[in-house]
Amino acid sequence: MNVEERAKRIKLIVFDIDGVMTNGGLMLGDDGLESKVFHSQDGLGLKLLKNTGIQMGIVTGRTSQVVMKRAANIGIKPEYIYQGVEDKLEAFDDLIKKLNLSYETSAFMGDDVIDLPPMRRAGLGVTVPHAMPLVKEHAHYITTREAGFGAVRELCELIMKAQGTFDGQMAKFLK
């Protein structure tokens, strides 16, 4: 099955944070506070995709209030955010069950080997160009844009185009 056919079926997309929604760098201050840099184009892409009815979640190994703030801005429900996760497949499974969906109708976007179990279970496993080689071997799709620089937006648009919702979402900007 090709990427477009997989993307047509997506009802849920789950993202890792570091190295997917960000460039993977971690900024830690002397006060111990963590900062992350997100791309505004990714944020708008997520909001547009959400407008089409696609559910979204986050599964990340680190814990940060920054993630909660970004998710709130995008409109991802707090109960669909899993932080400090060691077993990402377990969290992914929990979200699938919570939403009463199937793996075939879900996508997972990650960049490191900890992301492989949910990526391999998902109907659409996605990664970024700088991902670890083993992750790229198992991905259905590798974005052309880098993490933290529009990779998430690229995936959002790929799904909207496959599902025929892209033009409708763009219409308001082309008046």
Question: Which parts are annotated binding residues for Mg(2+)?
Answer: 16, 111
Distance CA 143, CA 171 (A): 25
Q: Which amino acid is at 119?
A: M
In sequence order, which residues have a C-beta less than 8 Å from that of residue 43 and are 6 or more positions away?
70, 73, 74
Query: Tokens 């529009």 correspond to what residue?
Result: 150
Helices (H), 52-99: 65-74, 88-98
User: Taking a C-beta distance cutoff of 8 angstroms, is the pair 19, 112 a contact?
Assistant: yes
What residue numbers does the annotated binding site for substrate cover?
A: 18
What residue numbers does the annotated binding site cover?
A: 16, 18, 111
C-alpha separations of 123 from 32, 55, 86, 101 in Å? 38, 15, 22, 11
User: Taking a C-beta distance cutoff of 8 angstroms, is the pair 136, 142 a contact?
Assistant: yes
